[in-house]
Amino acid sequence: MAADYVEWLRHEGRIVIVGASLAGLRAAETLRAEGFAGELTLIGDEPYEPYDRPPLSKSVLLGMASPHHTELPHRWEIDAKWRLGVAATGLDLTAKRVRLADGDEVEYDRLLIATGVRARPWLKPEEARLDGVCLLRTREDAADLCRRLKAGPRRVFVIGAGFAGSEVASACREMGLPVTVAERAGAPLVGALGGVVGAVAADLQTENGVDLRTHVTVTALEGDSAGRVRAVHLSDESVVEADVVVVSLGSLRNTEWLEGSGLGAGPRGIACDAGCRAFDFRGIVTDDVFVAGDVARSPHALFGYQFLSLEHWGNAVAQAETAAHNMICRGADRRPHLWMPAFWSSMFGVNIKSVGVPPMGEQLMVTQGSLAERRFAAVYGYQGRIVAAVTFDNTRWLEFYQRQIERGAPFPVEFPTMDRRPENRQPIPAGFPDPSLPTHGPMVTLSGYSPADQQLVFHPARH
Amino acid sequence: MRLVVDLNKCQGYAQCAFLAPDVFAMHGEESLIYNPRAEEEQRERLARAVAACPVQAITADGLDRAGEVREAPDGR
């Protein structure tokens, strides 16, 4: 019976994908590429075809691309019904229906949720409404910010020195604009890469002329009589005049529309199994609802089966492909989502890349190059094994470290490396902030129990 | 033409920046920036860049990974 159902689904079933961005598009393409011939509907709250976001804070701000033209190429004809510009507002698991903001309802046989995240807005709404207070997540945000930067503001103020905020600061300096960056932690990128690497990022900023303020929070945004932002007040009682303020405080997961649906969805995302099937609120796996991309939270065998939420481009692609595959095949043919976390960033002309889960690391060893030269590879260790690596302008070595993480290689590292410096023979504390303190959050969220198994053998999925 | 580069794969070999300098540029020593919407007259250069990428990180509308022009599936 189950086999017949899958056969029927593949030919005549209705698949609905909520979220028409990178994950939604790649899932749709995979469904068609793997022979799904039924009805496919993509629902997206933005009125645009799926577009790519990473260029918005890089080549778009650097003037090399238009914010309106980062649409993703299509790898496969997807022959879908598009419902763009209308958000999903509710889900009825029993009737298998998605409710839309315009009152319409769309029925499905299988559903994929890929609603992603949105930028966390400034916490005081009346200040957030001031003219000149910007976010950077959508193409409209990017177009607005580009326009304001081109107008030559006297000073740009960036709240939050995560990757997005640091990339904005980098672009501002490239345009010759004065920029101040405020960060609650002791350095930029601390949530994602820890204090040791964060200190390198701090030097990079200050040497490139960024006015970097750490260990401070923004207490108020001050507007003028015309409703334009004119100054930023900080917790150290200093005041910085600025006419563009970029709020870069991480993101919020788009799960509110699932409230009351019975799905295991909340501020930390939608929990799912390794096969991308969503859990309901009782912790029982559903069979017709799948999740992929930034909004998903799934257990990873390599990291002690902790549930990982990864706001990574590559994760959206890989998880969408796995979810789509699993949606239209029989149980035994399903694949686990075992993607190795990986991300990149680029700021002040330096290429930063990482594999694994750095925030899990307690200690760090610089295995190649040197922090002072800003060209290095470093590995993160947790309970005697390597769990992550980061490179600054050393990307070609990263794959080697990825293999070490997959092998569960011991930490401190035992292998010899090229360009090992004598001062880097011993591990040092990686310098992640106390997780109980509030921050704007790293791009990787860990939850669940801690891993203790050091004997794990990991074979990555080949797909 | 639309294109996207998988920057997890990209290792900064800069072949694309040599072959299609109006579309791809190096920013620093190994960061790549690019215009995700290339002009139609860049098609041939873009095809060469797609084919020459040592890690096959570039996906473009109407071009397969070998750099051959194939029929655009939906007329783009």
User: What are the pLDDT digits (tens) for A46-95?
Assistant: 999 999 999 999 999 999 999 999 999 998 889 999 999 999 999 999 99
The candidate with the shortest Cα–Cα distance to B56, out of B19, B2, B22, B8, is: B8
Asked if residue A416 is part of any domain, the answer here is yes
pLDDT single digits (tens) A123-182: 999 999 999 999 999 999 999 999 999 999 999 999 999 999 999 999 999 999 999 999
β A244-247/A133-134 pair status = parallel
Asked if residue A325 is part of any domain, the answer here is yes
Q: What is the pLDDT of residue B71?
A: 45
The answer to whether residues A418 and A276 touch, using CB atoms and an 8 Å cutoff, is: no
Asked if residue A452 is part of any domain, the answer here is no
Closest residue, chain B, to A355 (C-alpha):
B8
Rounded to the nearest angstrom, the minimum Cα separation between A158 and chain B is 22
CATH number for the domain spanning A232: value is 3.50.50.60
Do residues A29 and A95 both lie within one domain?
yes
Of A69, A317, A351, the CB nearest to B31: A351
Q: A375 - beta bridge partners?
A: A370
Of B25, B30, B61, the CB nearest to A393: B30
Among A333, A360, A392, give the residue marking a domain's end: A333
CATH number for the domain spanning A434: value is 3.30.390.30
The answer to whether residues A162 and A172 touch, using CB atoms and an 8 Å cutoff, is: no
What are residue A62's phi and psi, to 5 degrees? -80, 0
Do residues A270 and A415 both lie within one domain?
no
- Bigger pLDDT: A16 vs A303: A16
Do residues A257 and A112 both lie within one domain?
yes
* Mean model confidence pLDDT for chain A: 92
- Say if A59 is an interface residue toward chain B (CB within 8 Å): yes
- Say if A397 is an interface residue toward chain B (CB within 8 Å): no
Count, residues in chain B: 76
State the CB neighbour count (10 A cutoff) for residue A444. 24
Do residues A17 and A102 both lie within one domain?
yes
Q: What is the pLDDT of residue A441?
A: 56
Say which amino acid occupies A167: E
Is the confidence at residue A457, as pLDDT, over 60? no
Do residues A244 and A134 both lie within one domain?
yes
Asked if residue A462 is part of any domain, the answer here is no
Q: What is the pLDDT of residue B73?
A: 44
The candidate with the shortest Cα–Cα distance to B35, out of B65, B60, B10, is: B60
pLDDT band at A363 (very low <50, low <70, confident <90, very high): very high
- Bigger pLDDT: A229 vs A456: A229
Residue range A211-228: mean pLDDT, rounded: 97
Do residues A41 and A113 both lie within one domain?
yes
Asked if residue A102 is part of any domain, the answer here is yes
Do residues A223 and A136 both lie within one domain?
yes
Q: Which domains does chain B have, with CATH numbers?
A: 3-60 (3.30.70.20)
Domain residues for the domain of A60 are: 2-118+252-333
Asked if residue A454 is part of any domain, the answer here is no
Among A218, A249, A280, give the residue marking a domain's end: A249
Q: What is the Cα Rg of chain A in Å?
A: 23
Asked if residue A460 is part of any domain, the answer here is no
Q: Residue A149 belongs to what H/E stretch?
A: helix A139-150
pTM of the model: 0.92
Among A288, A306, A333, give the residue marking a domain's end: A333
Per-block mean pLDDT, blocks of 10 residues, chain B (76 long): 96 96 95 95 96 96 60 42
Contacts of residue A436, defined as CB under 8 A and 6 or more positions apart, other chains included, come to: none
Q: Residue A303 belongs to what H/E stretch?
A: none
Do residues A299 and A189 both lie within one domain?
no
Quick one: how far is CA A5 from the chain centroid? 35
- Where are the strands (E) in A185-228, listed by range? 211-214, 218-223
Cα angle: A406, vertex A408, A409; to 5 degrees: 110
Q: What angle do helix axes A22-33 and A313-327 make, rounded to 10 degrees?
A: 40
Do residues A179 and A242 both lie within one domain?
yes
- In total, the C-beta contacts within 8 angstroms joining chain A to chain B are 85
- Say if A175 is an interface residue toward chain B (CB within 8 Å): no
The DSSP line for A310-370 is E--HHHHHHHHHHHHHHHTS-GGG-----PPPEEEEEETTEEEEEEE-GGG-SEEEEEEEE
pLDDT single digits (tens) A376-407: 999 999 999 999 999 999 999 999 999 999 99
Q: Is A342 exposed, middle or buried (0-12, 13-18, 19+ CB in 10 A)?
A: buried
Q: How far apart are CA A144 and CA A338, in angstroms?
A: 38
Do residues A323 and A350 both lie within one domain?
no
Do residues A225 and A177 both lie within one domain?
yes
Do residues A429 and A371 both lie within one domain?
yes
The candidate with the shortest Cα–Cα distance to A321, out of A27, A40, A22, is: A27
- Say if B70 is an interface residue toward chain A (CB within 8 Å): no
The candidate with the shortest Cα–Cα distance to A402, out of B8, B39, B66, is: B8
Domain count, chain A: 3
Q: How far apart are CA A35 and CA B68, in angstroms?
A: 24
Asked if residue A98 is part of any domain, the answer here is yes
Q: How far apart are CA A7 and CA B26, in angstroms?
A: 48
